[in-house]
Amino acid sequence: MKVVLAATLFATASAFVPSNAPKFGTSLNLKQDFLEYTPYHDHSQVKVNTYKNKAPFTGKVVSTKRIVGPQATGETCHIIIDHNGDFPYIEGQSWGVIPPGTREKDGKPHAVRLYSIASSRYGDDMTGKTGSLCVRRATYWCPELKADDPAKKGICSNFLCDTNPGDEIMMTGPAGKVMLMPEEDPTTDYIMVATGTGIAPFRGFVRRLFAEDTPAANVYKGQAWLFLGVANSDALLYDDEFQLAKEQFPENFRLDYALSREQENKNGGKMYIQDKVEEYADEIFDKLDKGAHMYFCGLKGMMPGIQDMLKGVCESKGIDYDEFIKGLKKSGQWHVEVY
């Protein structure tokens, strides 16, 4: 069954790749086991900061594709980058991108922007030679101009969303170990909470566990539960892949969306990510008590609402919130990457 899903998701991923994409040598028929540690769950060898600001890596764009519908709030692009196998990373890590040009105020190079990697270590083509980013174009609407103000647009996000096949990207990293999946125990439950492009690391998780023929996938018996919050259905990201994983692995993958402009919470207000998570509070707390790992990724503005919700749930259960979170952090079950 997993072979069928892998082939289907490869076909989905190949939709991001133009016909003139470079040819990669690894056959899809091979298992995705050639970039594993020994044992596969040993993270002691995970590389960080292989490439730094003063000596960055040069990647080449394979494809850039808009992946949201016409009614989405803003434009989000999926960008596949060829690194020729020379820039290894694993799921949950980030790449830094240095946009070209210099800052107007002092003429110095632009600062590095970090982006969570949106593919598994094998890449969308499963060759181990590409990686993907999920980037929302940052724009500023000027009420006086009644239009986007180009002087205030996001330098790096616009650069990335405007790239074409063959364009070069200066990159640093890989960065971070906070969001890695602990794979020692194949029965571990993962609770993943994302807003917008914060979906990136979790797409990598889902592909590793349910789309690829990896050692981790072959033994996984736990449940991966994904929550994604976006404005509306047109803003959903990678929904076709997630729906396929849900269909093929209903016992091991769960999926819940919070669509703030289409759904209502229990109080009749907009359905935000914290409201959707709260609907399953009892089950989530039970899973955490049994060792589940909980992940959060997205804009930093998501966390106050999440924290207030969790405090309320703790109070209703007679649990000291601060001690509860402290315990999760101490045991390594609490993973946060916001920006």
Catalytic residue, chosen from 156, 161, 297, 314, is 297
Q: Tell me the C-alpha distance between 67 and 122, whole Å.
A: 21
- One of 63, 91, 94, 115 is an active-site residue; which one? 115
- Non-local CB neighbours of 42 within 8 Å, separated by 6+ positions: none
Catalytic one of 116, 119, 120, 260: 116
Q: How many helices (H) and strands (E) does the chain have?
A: 9, 13
Q: Tokens representing 88?
A: 């290894």
Which residue's structure tokens are 């390594």? Answer: 332
* The 224-230 sheet, strands edge to edge: 253-259, 224-230, 190-195, 293-298, 334-338
Give residues with Cβ within 8 angstroms of 279, minimum separation 6.
266
51 as an active site residue: the answer is no
Q: How many CB atoms lie within 10 A of CB 78?
A: 24
Angle at CA 336, nearest 5°, toward 258 and 47?
Answer: 125
For residue 81, which of 127, 42, 140, 112 has the smallest C-alpha distance?
A: 127
Active site residue 321: no
User: Are 175 and 48 in contact, with CB atoms under 8 Å apart?
Assistant: yes
Residue 27 known to be catalytic: no
The residues that are catalytic are: 115-116, 297, 337, 339
